[in-house]
């Protein structure tokens, strides 16, 4: 660690994501690693941003978000999930779900407070907990259905536990927590007076009729739940970083207390454009089209992986597929992903990056299918070489 750098950065060096992206560029690999679309977001949303910029909506927005966007967020939640949301007190616009999670941790944790995470977890969570002085406590999800042991969850709750983090639909597994699982988590949260922070950035990207249940809507949960989301995922504009949090007035106020001194406000014209997007989406069938598009892409990639002798685990939501690479003779998933990127020309992410102890991760690889059909077709062609080439080179 460099001189003068805070201890909280210990252990957070360059991530395997950066390494895989670098390898992908070096070898001209098709990048199915990174979790963002290689296709554009809707024209109408782009036009709305241009219009907003030309209309000089270019100065600071109100710290917790423009009224128009907060109203669109509240209306969208009500329309989809049937619960009225107070757009003034219960909605906060953030710089992506990433900032939302960080300000939630800073608002809720005192030094030494513990936060339960389901493992594998989105890699930012433990860092954000540690940056806020907290301690991450992982609870395992087990493949192939990524279920967890209620006893293990119960045992993980201690004197210092302050919050449970849920991510559904889940990155990297594609799991959607069932209503029964959410109910059991909710009962424990209520019994132990815990806050639940739920990352639902993929709530619109679900498959085969799977129904997304926001845990905030279960009995007794609204007052103890912060629901995080990101328009970047829903409207394929990850670079705009417009996220939001829905939660009860007292928790929202705490979060805003951090947010005002953290980023203060998020880019005004992009908030305006996302308000336009959300106002129109349902009526124009956007969410149904999004689901249909992703279902086709998932099917295309699944077929390609299976043709390359890579069995695929079931996926209910998100835009990732996990392939079982345990039968291929590699020591770990990082070795497989390095091989796949440099020798086959397709980049994937080793899910061990989502584990506290990477050596305990199952041997899988995560593929992102938020890519154009041509991208997936080109990857499929390269993957077809895998069963042929593989025996020549083992790590
Ligand atoms: C589960 C999850 N949460 C949060 C994010 C980040 O969201 P944002 O870009 O809005 O910060 C991602 C991005 O991949 C994600 O997969």
Q: How many domains does the chain have?
A: 2
Q: Are residues 221 and 353 in the same domain?
A: no
Q: Are residues 256 and 354 in the same domain?
A: no
CATH number at residue 188: 3.40.640.10
Q: Are residues 23 and 106 in the same domain?
A: no
The model carries a pTM of: 0.96
Alpha carbons 337 and 186: distance in angstroms, whole number: 37
- Is 42 strand, coil or helix? coil
Q: Are residues 185 and 300 in the same domain?
A: no
Q: Does any domain span residue 64?
A: yes
Q: Does any domain span residue 179?
A: yes
161-176: b or e for each residue (b if 16 or more CB lie within 10 Å)?
bbbbbbbbbbbbbbbb
- Nearest-atom number in ligand 1 for the CA of 318 is 16
Q: Are residues 48 and 179 in the same domain?
A: yes
Supply 262's token pair: 């953290």
Q: Does any domain span residue 2?
A: no
Q: Which residues line ligand 1 (CB under 6 A)?
A: 35, 96-98, 122, 167, 171, 199, 201, 230, 232, 238, 241, 243
Q: Are residues 150 and 112 in the same domain?
A: yes
Mean pLDDT of 42-69: 98
DSSP one-letter code for 103: H
Q: Are residues 221 and 300 in the same domain?
A: no
Spacing, Cα 29 to ligand 1 middle (Å): 23
Percent of the chain with pLDDT over 90: 91
Quote the domain boundaries for residue 384.
Answer: 7-41+286-389
- Nearest-atom number in ligand 1 for the CA of 35 is 14
Q: Are residues 235 and 354 in the same domain?
A: no
Sheet holding 114-119, edge to edge: 91-95, 242-246, 225-230, 195-199, 161-167, 114-119, 135-140
pLDDT digits (tens, 9 = 90+) for 211-266: 999 999 999 999 999 999 999 999 999 999 999 999 999 999 999 999 999 999 99
User: Ligand 1: which of 233, 237, 263 to mutate, judged by most atoms within 8 Å of the beta carbon?
Assistant: 233
CATH number at residue 378: 3.90.1150.10
Phi-psi region of 342 (alpha: psi -120 to 50; beta: other; left: phi over 0): alpha
Q: Does any domain span residue 81?
A: yes
Q: Does any domain span residue 83?
A: yes
Spacing, Cα 116 to ligand 1 middle (Å): 18
3 — pLDDT class (breaks 50, 70, 90): confident
Q: Does any domain span residue 394?
A: no
Q: How many CA atoms lie within 13 A of 332 on its CB side?
A: 11
The residue whose C-alpha atom lies closest to atom 1 belonging to ligand 1 is 171
The residue whose C-alpha atom lies closest to atom 14 belonging to ligand 1 is 35
The residue whose C-alpha atom lies closest to atom 13 belonging to ligand 1 is 35
């Amino acid at each position: 660690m460099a001189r003068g750098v805070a201890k909280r950065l210990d252990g957070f060096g360059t991530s395997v994501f950066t390494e895989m992206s670098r390898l992908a560029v070096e070898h001209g690999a098709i990048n199915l690693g990174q979790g963002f679309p290689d296709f554009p977001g809707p024209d109408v949303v782009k036009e709305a941003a241009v219009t907003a910029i030309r209309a000089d909506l270019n100065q600071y927005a109100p710290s917790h978000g423009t009224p128009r966007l907060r109203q669109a967020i509240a209306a969208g939640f009500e329309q989809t999930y049937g619960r009225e949301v107070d757009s003034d007190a219960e909605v906060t616009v953030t710089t992506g779900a990433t900032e939302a999670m960080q300000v939630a941790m800073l608002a809720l944790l005192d030094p030494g407070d513990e936060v339960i995470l389901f493992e594998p977890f989105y890699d930012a969570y433990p860092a954000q907990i540690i940056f806020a002085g907290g301690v991450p406590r992982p609870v395992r999800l087990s493949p192939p259905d990524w279920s967890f042991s209620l006893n293990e969850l119960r045992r993980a709750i201690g004197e210092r536990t302050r919050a449970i983090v849920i991510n559904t639909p889940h990155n990297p597994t594609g799991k959607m927590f069932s209503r029964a699982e959410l109910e059991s988590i909710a009962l424990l949260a209520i019994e132990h007076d815990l806050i639940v922070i739920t990352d639902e950035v993929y709530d619109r990207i679900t498959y085969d009729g799977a129904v997304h249940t926001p845990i905030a809507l279960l009995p007794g949960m609204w007052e103890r739940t912060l629901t995080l989301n990101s328009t970047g995922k829903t409207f394929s504009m990850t670079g705009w970083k417009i996220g939001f949090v829905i939660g009860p007035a007292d928790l929202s106020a705490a979060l805003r207390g951090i947010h005002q001194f953290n980023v203060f406000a998020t880019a005004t014209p992009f908030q305006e454009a996302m308000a336009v997007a959300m106002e129109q989406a349902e009526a124009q069938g956007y969410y149904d089209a999004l689901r249909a598009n992703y279902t086709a892409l998932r099917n295309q990639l699944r077929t390609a992986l299976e043709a390359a002798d890579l069995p695929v685990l079931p996926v209910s939501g998100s835009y990732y597929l996990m392939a079982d690479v345990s039968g291929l003779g590699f020591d770990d998933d990082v070795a497989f992903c390095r091989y796949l990127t440099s020798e086959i020309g397709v980049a994937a992410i080793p899910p061990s990056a989502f584990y506290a102890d990477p050596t305990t991760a199952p041997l899988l690889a995560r593929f992102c299918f938020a890519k154009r059909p041509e991208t997936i077709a080109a990857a499929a062609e390269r993957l077809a070489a895998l069963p042929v080439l593989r025996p020549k080179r083992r790590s």
